[in-house]
């Protein structure tokens, strides 16, 4: 059953359009429609259509969506999907089409100019429409975070001196799929020792040594929605420098969660956290924004928590809070939760401890 068609129709009304053509996989996931490359979704003032080639016809019929199915298979027809859109627009005397700016090529845009309708590029508007989550979405994301916590706990049982970053990565994939995830939200960050100073370091065959930190940043996709969590693991006793850095990041992350409230400017949350890290002497070692929206956006979506964000936070937004300190040659620390604003305040959805996790050698 397709979802959120009302939000797209509200956008059509707001932008004075007659319809919006959806191509991106992310937006099709948000609408809970078929997501294949041969499927485009046209939402108009009056109807909603799935324009697709024959590969998807049987599945589309089985879904019993309220979408009107229009088969247009290039191998059997000389018409393009754009031709089909044009026919619909002529039938209803429409003249203004919106398309996703980031999903269509310049060549596509040039082709659209030959039709008897104007074309408006929309992208930010669609992204902004997803910023407030409904109860259905919140429940799914709570479950996604619960699965993420469980996967981390399962992986933690296997971590010891001698295990490689790649092996930890493989365990994350295995336990995620076993627990019901459809896939990972993104390629996990799994780094160890000095490599933890790489904010987005990818796993290698490097083996974990005694008294080293491990950074694990991963998320799972569950019913199209994606979690994101980062925790540190120490195999053996960490150095005093790493303990100090960890406590600074933990303090900053806690302050960030507490600052996430309805009515607060997103950039103000970033400032509060950044100020703590700068006053501790590590301002130059914190080189990214505080967080990003959590939802269906294939990794990141609105709202963004950074120094330039103009977003006013409100209830039912969900975002990551993930400060970090990265010292080349020593290592890094990042702690991340997914935070829901409910009842005016930020509530972490992840339950995994943020106290130092120190494993025996």
Q: Are 305 and 290 in contact (CB under 8 A)?
A: yes
CA-nearest of 80, 60, 68 to 44 is 68
The chain-wide mean pLDDT, for the chain, equals 96
CA-nearest of 60, 51, 57 to 83 is 51
The verdict on 292 and 147 lying in the same domain is yes
| pLDDT tier for residue 220 given thresholds of 50, 70 and 90 | very high
The predicted structure's pLDDT at residue 284:
98
The total number of structural domains that make up the chain: 2
The verdict on 102 and 211 lying in the same domain is no
The predicted structure's pLDDT at residue 2:
78
The predicted structure's pLDDT at residue 204:
99
The predicted structure's pLDDT at residue 299:
63
The verdict on 111 and 155 lying in the same domain is no
Residue 345: is it exposed, middle or buried by C-beta count within 10 angstroms (0-12/13-18/19+)? middle
Decide which of 76, 103, 129 is a domain's last residue.
129
User: Where is mean pLDDT largest: 49-53, 77-81, 255-259?
Assistant: 255-259
Give strand pairing partners of 217: 189, 230
Decide which of 129, 146, 172 is a domain's last residue.
129
CATH number at residue 264: 3.90.230.10
Q: Which structural domain, as residue segments, surrounds residue 224? A: 135-359
CA atoms of 234 and 212, how far apart (whole Å): 6
The verdict on 313 and 252 lying in the same domain is yes
The predicted structure's pLDDT at residue 64:
73
Decide which of 129, 162, 181 is a domain's last residue.
129
Q: Summarize the confidence of residues 67-73 as an average pLDDT.
A: 92
| pLDDT tier for residue 242 given thresholds of 50, 70 and 90 | very high
Helices within 179-239 (DSSP H only)? none
| pLDDT tier for residue 140 given thresholds of 50, 70 and 90 | very high
The verdict on 203 and 332 lying in the same domain is yes
Question: Could you write out the DSSP letters of every residue in 37-77?
Answer: TTEEEEEESS-EEEEE-GGGHHHHHHHT-SSEEEE--TTT-
Enter the pTM of the model.
0.94
Q: Are 238 and 211 in contact (CB under 8 A)?
A: yes
């Amino acid at each position: 059953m397709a979802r959120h068609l009302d939000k797209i129709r509200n956008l059509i009304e707001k932008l004075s359009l007659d319809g919006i053509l959806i191509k991106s996989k992310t937006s099709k996931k948000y609408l809970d429609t078929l997501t294949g490359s041969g499927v485009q979704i046209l939402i108009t003032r009056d109807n909603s259509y799935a324009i697709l080639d024959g590969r998807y016809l049987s599945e589309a019929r089985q879904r019993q969506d309220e979408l009107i199915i229009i088969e247009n298979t290039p191998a059997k027809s000389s018409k393009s999907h754009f031709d089909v859109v044009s026919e619909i627009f002529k039938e209803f005397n429409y003249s203004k089409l919106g398309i996703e700016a980031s999903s269509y090529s310049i060549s596509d845009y040039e082709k659209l100019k030959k039709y008897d309708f104007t074309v408006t590029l929309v992208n930010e508007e669609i992204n902004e429409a997803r910023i407030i989550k409904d109860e259905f979405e919140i429940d799914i994301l709570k479950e996604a975070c619960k699965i993420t916590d469980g996967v981390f706990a399962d992986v933690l049982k296997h971590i010891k001196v001698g295990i490689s970053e790649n092996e930890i990565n493989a365990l994350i994939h295995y336990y995620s799929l076993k627990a019901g995830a459809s896939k990972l939200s993104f390629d996990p960050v799994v780094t160890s020792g000095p490599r933890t100073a790489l904010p987005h370091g990818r796993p290698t065959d490097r083996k974990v040594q005694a008294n080293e930190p491990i950074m694990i940043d991963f998320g799972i996709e569950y019913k199209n929605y994606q979690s994101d969590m980062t925790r540190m693991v120490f195999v053996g006793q960490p150095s005093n420098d790493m303990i100090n850095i960890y406590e600074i990041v933990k303090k900053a992350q806690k302050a960030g969660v507490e600052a996430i409230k309805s009515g607060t400017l997103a950039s103000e949350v970033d400032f509060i956290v950044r100020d703590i890290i700068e006053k501790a002497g590590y301002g130059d070692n914190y080189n990214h924004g505080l967080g990003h929206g959590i939802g269906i956006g294939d990794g990141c979506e609105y709202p963004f928590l950074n120094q330039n964000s103009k977003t006013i936070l409100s209830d039912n937004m969900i975002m990551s809070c993930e400060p970090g300190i990265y010292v080349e040659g020593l290592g890094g620390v990042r702690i991340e939760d997914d935070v829901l604003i409910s009842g005016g305040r930020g509530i972490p959805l992840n339950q995994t401890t943020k106290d130092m996790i120190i494993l025996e050698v």
